[in-house]
Structure 1
Amino acid sequence: MKQFVLVICLIAIFFVYPSQTNAISMPCCLTLEPVDKSLTNAKGVALIYKVQLNPPSFARTNVSILAVHLPEPSSYGAYDSYEGFAFIPDEISWRFKLYPTPEEISPTWAGRFDLITAEMKNVKVQVRLSNSKTEKLGPSILTNNIKYCK
């Protein structure tokens, strides 16, 4: 009888406390680090959280990015701006414009995207060069993986 009760308790624990998933807990922040280590002052942060949009609907995931001390986009060639870029490899990606603040020297670049419905698992977040006229996306300047989100 004791063994039967023990087995029932173990089964109950298994169903009450399911195994952890690889999904992150939100809200969280992710530090974006430079791909080129010579850009010692370039950094960014991504805030990732659930947002309830109007009109009321199911919650979506928001990714907001703020990046500082980035080089002039034109120093890399035919680029004139930066974009936020988040993606799940071989599945889906989201890109959104980052806007510069009015500082004359080294503006802060910021932007957000509110419409993510996918599970935020194995997501990479980046700040990438962009050509606003041709809509060509360039290489990543800042990057990190969502598994480091805290």
Structure 2
Amino acid sequence: MKRFVLGIFIISSFVISPLQTSATTMPCSMVLEPIDKKLTNAKGTALVYKVQLRPQSFVRTNVSILGVHLPEPSSYGNYDSYEGFAFIPDEISWRFRLYPSPEKDSPTWAGKFDEITAEIENVEVQVRLSNLKNEKLGPSILRSNIKYCK
């Protein structure tokens, strides 16, 4: 009888449990790799997880980015900062400022965005150059896709 009950339990756990979807399991993190392979020391990471900021608010997704050993933004032209940029192709994008640490040589750039309400599937996360004065977003320096989030 015990084997029968155990067998029913095992079979029901496969049948009743939700099937694995293409959605990313959260929390997760991913390594952001440089676009330009000459930037051998430049790396980043993105942390993606669900947050509920106020007791009566609904759950949203947070994306936090940290970038290290990035070149001085001005070395690429008329740029003075970096921004985090996440997007679902042909659907929606989010951009947020990354702030440098106080280190004089090669600061760490970090920032976060807490207001994502869309399903987090097929999202690309990037660190991009930015001009704060004219709000121009420049090319991507680091990137990864949510499918590599672990």
TM-score normalised by L of structure 1: 0.89
User: Cα offset for 1:19?
Assistant: 3.1
Q: How far apart, in 1, do the equivalents of 2:15 and 2:58 lie?
A: 26
Taking only aligned residues, the RMSD between alpha carbons, in angstroms, comes to: 1.4
Q: What SS is found at the alignment partner of 1:147?
A: helix
| 1:98-124 CA-partner distances (Å, limit 9, x unpaired) | 000000000000000000000000000
Aligned to 2:78: 78
Residues 59-138 of structure 1 mapped to structure 2, 5 A cutoff: 59-138=59-138
User: Cα offset for 1:16?
Assistant: 2.0
User: Cα offset for 1:15?
Assistant: 6.2
Aligned residues: 139
The amino acid of 1:140's aligned partner reads S
Q: How far apart, in 1, do the equivalents of 2:140 and 2:16 lie?
A: 42
Q: What SS is found at the alignment partner of 1:99?
A: strand
Structure 1 stretches of 5 or more lacking a match? Answer: 1-11
Q: What SS is found at the alignment partner of 1:118?
A: coil
The percentage of counterpart residues that share the same residue type is 76
> Which segments of structure 1 move beyond 3 Å, counting only runs of 4 or more?
12-15
The amino acid of 2:102's aligned partner reads P
Structure 2 stretches of 5 or more lacking a match? Answer: 1-11
Q: How far apart, in 2, do the equivalents of 1:18 and 1:113 lie?
A: 29
Is residue 54 from structure 1 mapped to residue 82 from structure 2 by the alignment? no
TM-score normalised by L of structure 2: 0.89
Q: What SS is found at the alignment partner of 2:114?
A: strand
| 1:22-71 CA-partner distances (Å, limit 9, x unpaired) | 11000001100000000000000000000111252111000000000000
